[in-house]
């Protein structure tokens, strides 16, 4: 696991070694073990690398790495099937100097060109410079586990694992992207290719980008996507067997490491399954790590401890207190894009503490996306069923919901009113409503006139809703899951995991997001994912019944929640008022100060929660302070 950088000139300028060293230094936390720089003979191409040693700890794994005196690569990630591919290549006469997966990528590229990607199973972002063809081949993995950000104009192409490296270069003039901010306020992240910085993009998952130095042209193409149209008609028992076999295979591949390895354990279904199967595959006790809060409502420590005791792991737990928000400026700097998923806070803490014990940690990310495990998935299914009562809804339910929200000023009835109101929307836009932070209506209230003109009232819901038609399936739940895979998963969940772990030089691996496992679960009929209207992740729970206690499998999902609602009414109250109503915040010319104050007052003085809205405003202001003040 590493950090990569690069700079390529199209004009008469030369890349200096100091340019690449500056870029490398900006992301040194991603790879504290080693660093390297390559400058081409004509000084048009510079590549940089920071290394966190996981596989092949010898100097032979050093990057940038050359092959056949023609190719140079900088690579961030892990290829889990590299040993199998190495044996295949050796039979064809290919010779290797190292034991690293990096060299295998180079040999595959030499043999197959762009089609090398079909041979890779893992998480990766890399760039290969072909000296003969004068091209740079840039790639991001299928799910978007590893980041690739870049800047391109008529004179220069620059890329890096984190855009902070690009900010060190004189060619880029820093400017906020207000369209990205507009979308962030709805989604809590910047959707690809946007980053929050005008001109800097992120390469979409499962895409390659080819830069031709001779023609100064670029070509971008998608090389893989999930297909939900090919369902397998297997029995429940057959599905249980197939799921467990593939999940075990995925975990086994991710336990290959030359450094200490452990697992994040929340006490939920997915991480418990990972730990249980790791225990089966390991000769030594598995090291497990969990995070909790003083507030009991958000505390899953007892469930994690139950799993740790059952599988006799070496278990360590940590407790986050509200004082942890003192690190918000640090998090804003690390995330580098506007980002407000509140679970980033405990993920950072558990990553930081875990790094004291291991260098690699497996996680349960992706279980909900595979098996429809989020509350919004069952709400979507219920809404599709409820559509048949549209007349009763319009005449009776909607007026009652509005009246209840008016009489009982609390979050529950606000949500009931919101659900009732969204029934008038088309199902894909309705789903976008379920997951938005600031709705179109709320943004219209809070924006000042100047900012509203900048974004021309562009509808952020379309970023989610337009993905529904690309799933290959007519089933509306399949379309919903596909939309999650194309938006929320890479731009929110994967960004959180990568940034929080790499900020403390820890590698995280996600067995549920193995692309072969994803291809299998896409073939599962949805009657096995949500049973009835609300029994989520049905087939996964059934598959795990002989392994995981039922009180773990069938308890109410908590998620990686954070008690910001109570923090903002207590210890964080004065902090939030001071930050969000400051002259500096007001000078951004985005929000109406009186509307921000109204949100704060209503949250602090009533039972209506605006916690996530306020958290988004707090993190946006910290982003501005970190990069533009």
**Residue 2 designated active-site:** yes
Q: Which of 2, 138, 190, 436 is catalytic?
A: 2
- 3-state helix, strand, coil split of the chain in percent (to 5) is 50, 15, 35
Closest Cα to residue 271, out of 366, 146, 144, 374?
Answer: 366
Closest Cα to residue 262, out of 447, 506, 517, 552?
Answer: 506
Q: How far apart are CA 627 and CA 629, in angstroms?
A: 6
Q: How far apart are CA 222 and CA 206, in angstroms?
A: 6
Tally of CB atoms within 10 A around 97: 10
What is the helix (H) or strand (E) element at residue 138, kind and residue range?
Answer: strand 135-140
**Cross-strand bridge partners of residue 219:** 210
Burial of 445 (0-12, 13-18, 19+ CB in 10 A): middle
Q: How far apart are CA 207 and CA 225, in angstroms?
A: 10
Helix axes 611-628, 328-335, angle to 10 degrees: 70
Helix axes 476-486, 427-435, angle to 10 degrees: 40
Q: How far apart are CA 622 and CA 629, in angstroms?
A: 10
Hey, what are 617's tokens? Answer: 């405003």
Tally of CB atoms within 10 A around 207: 20
One-letter-per-residue 3-state SS of 517-545: HHHHHCCCCHHHCCECCCECCHHHHHHHC
Tally of CB atoms within 10 A around 223: 14
Q: List residues with catalytic annotation.
A: 2
């Amino acid at each position: 696991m590493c950090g990569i950088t690069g700079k390529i000139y199209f004009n008469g300028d030369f890349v200096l070694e100091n340019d690449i060293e500056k870029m490398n230094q900006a992301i040194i936390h991603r790879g504290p073990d080693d660093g390297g720089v390559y400058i081409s003979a004509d000084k048009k191409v510079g590549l940089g690398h920071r290394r966190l040693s996981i596989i092949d700890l010898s100097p032979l794994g050093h990057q940038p790495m050359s092959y056949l005196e023609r190719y140079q690569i900088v690579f961030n990630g892990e290829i889990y099937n590299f040993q199998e591919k190495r044996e295949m290549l050796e039979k064809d006469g290919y010779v290797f100097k190292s034991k690293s997966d990096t060299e295998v990528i180079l040999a595959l590229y030499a043999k197959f060109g762009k089609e090398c990607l079909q041979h890779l199973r893992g998480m990766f972002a890399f760039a290969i410079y072909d000296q003969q063809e004068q091209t740079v081949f840039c790639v991001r993995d299928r799910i978007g586990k590893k980041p690739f950000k870049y800047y391109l104009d008529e004179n220069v192409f620059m890329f890096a694992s984190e855009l902070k490296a690009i900010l060190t270069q004189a060619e880029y003039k820093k400017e906020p992207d207000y369209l990205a901010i507009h979308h962030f306020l709805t989604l809590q992240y910047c959707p690809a290719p946007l980053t929050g910085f005008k001109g800097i993009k992120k390469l979409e998952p499962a895409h390659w980008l080819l830069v031709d130095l001779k023609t100064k042209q670029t070509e971008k193409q998608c090389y893989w996507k999930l297909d939900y149209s090919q369902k397998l008609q297997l029995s429940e028992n057959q599905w249980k067997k197939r799921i467990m076999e593939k999940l075990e295979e995925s975990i086994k591949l991710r336990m290959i490491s030359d450094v200490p390895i452990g697992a994040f354990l929340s006490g939920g279904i997915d991480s418990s399954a990972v730990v249980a199967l790791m225990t089966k595959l390991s000769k030594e006790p598995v090291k497990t790590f969990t995070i909790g809060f003083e507030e009991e409502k958000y505390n899953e420590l007892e469930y994690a401890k139950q799993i740790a005791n059952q599988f006799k792991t070496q278990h360590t737990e940590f407790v986050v207190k509200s004082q942890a928000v003192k690190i918000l400026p640090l998090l804003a700097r690390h995330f580098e894009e506007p980002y407000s998923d509140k679970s980033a806070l405990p993920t950072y803490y558990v990553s930081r503490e875990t790094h004291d014990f291991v260098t690699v940690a497996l996680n349960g990310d992706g279980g909900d996306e595979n098996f429809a495990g989020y509350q919004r998935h069952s709400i979507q299914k219920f809404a599709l069923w409820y559509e048949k009562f549209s007349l009763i809804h319009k005449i009776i339910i909607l007026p009652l919901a509005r009246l209840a929200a008016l009489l009982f000023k609390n979050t529950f009835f606000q949500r009931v009113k919101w659900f009732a109101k969204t029934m008038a929307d088309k199902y894909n836009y309705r789903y976008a409503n379920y997951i938005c932070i600031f709705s179109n209506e709320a943004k219209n209230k809070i924006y000042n006139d100047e900012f509203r003109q900048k974004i021309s009232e562009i509808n952020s819901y379309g970023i989610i809703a337009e993905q529904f038609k690309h799933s290959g399936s007519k089933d509306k739940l399949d379309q919903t899951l596909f939309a999650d895979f194309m938006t929320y998963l890479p731009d929110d969940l994967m960004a959180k995991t990568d940034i929080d772990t790499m900020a403390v030089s820890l590698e995280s691996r996600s067995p549920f997001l193995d692309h072969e496992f994803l291809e299998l679960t896409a073939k599962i009929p949805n009657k096995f994912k949500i049973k009835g209207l609300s029994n989520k992740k049905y087939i996964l729970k059934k598959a795990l019944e002989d392994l995981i206690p039922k009180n773990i499998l069938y308890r109410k999902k908590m998620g990686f929640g954070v008690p910001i609602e109570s923090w903002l009414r207590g210890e964080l109250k004065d902090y939030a008022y001071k930050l969000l109503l400051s002259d500096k915040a007001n000078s951004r010319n985005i929000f109406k100060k009186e509307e921000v104050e109204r949100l704060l007052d209503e949250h602090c003085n009533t039972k209506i929660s605006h916690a996530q809205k306020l958290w988004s405003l707090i993190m946006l202001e910290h982003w501005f302070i970190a990069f533009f003040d």
